[in-house]
Structure 1
Amino acid sequence: MHSEDPRARRTRHRLRSAALALAAEHEPADITMAAVARRAAVNRATVYLHYPDLDALVSDAMQDAVAEVARAAALCPLDAPSDRAPEPLVELFDHVGRHDTLYARMLGAQGSARFVAGLRERLADALVERFRGGSRPMGFAEVPLDVHAAYLAGALVGVIAHWVPADPRPPAPEVALTTWRLFRS
């Protein structure tokens, strides 16, 4: 089936939705292609027509979430004061907090290495583009753009991975402010 075929798009949408629903209910290691097929109401062979493995399916399903995180990170004004987190960073943590179970599972020890790598890569790419556009903090001229972006992306993923399973978990605005202060230092 051609990938632009409306039926193929609908099937992939159902598979992605099923994978996300299952990932919110179970550890990623406990999810099977058969379970995704049952949830999506398709034949298991159909799943394999669209995705070679579960990791590829879950990574594809999380692309909207990754895009949201990258968008918010790229919108942070670099000249915001250190006593108030930029609104896009607060929105980023609000987004993650609304989907905390899913992020905790995907970023946890039993999570998806492909998702973690994809999230870091997408964040780093968004930051490199931002830096190339002239929105880079002062004092880092001697650091290559890609290294600077990778550092910030890795730090942000690390903070998210640390924050989502915390009990009690600080509110999103609080962790956004703490993260912002670390980024500004």
Structure 2
Amino acid sequence: MKKSLSGVKITKEMRSAAKIEARKRESKIKHHFMPSHTTIDKTNEYGFLGEFCFCNLLGIDWRQNIRSSYDTIDTYDLVYRGSKFDVKTETVPKKYAIKILQRTIRDDEIFGRRLYSEGQFQLLKKYDYVAFGLIIREEENAWYPIGFSSAKYIETNYLPTTSRPDGGTYPSSGAPVKTSKLLSINEVHNLKIV
């Protein structure tokens, strides 16, 4: 059974805000992961778009969730039902994105895992959950939720590596989280209020 692909539309307002916030934050952050298919500016924008869209999905006003300053590392991207979330967004070629979203991708094939950067691994202690989403590279018109996991589960079950299970290598070291182990994003609404 194939799941339908439903994403959160990326609006012009979101794009504009993502560009502004990315510029404000750029000089304050250290990049832990730099894909070869895009620029640093676009990578920063994708991250903000993911946060904005996940807020929308949860019924949170993403505009109210924008930080006033980036002088310090954040302690979370958003809070939902009392739980702190980190949101990770990646861009994926359409042919793999469809397999990821329909949950037909194998964990050990290319794009079968979600990479959590080694440079941010120590930050997992600050979060309760990590939500993963993607933007289809050829379209860039929506953010698609892949799933989520407890930060503790990632921290205790995965070690950062540069080796991919398909025999290739990642561009930088990260914890390769199995897509099959992620909870459905629909389950986020069932979290106990803390």
Scaled by the length of structure 2, the TM-score of the pair is 0.32
Radius of gyration: which is bigger?
Answer: 1
Q: Which one has a larger percent helix, Structure 1 or Structure 2?
A: 1
Scaled by the length of structure 1, the TM-score of the pair is 0.33
Q: Which one has a larger percent strand, Structure 1 or Structure 2?
A: 2
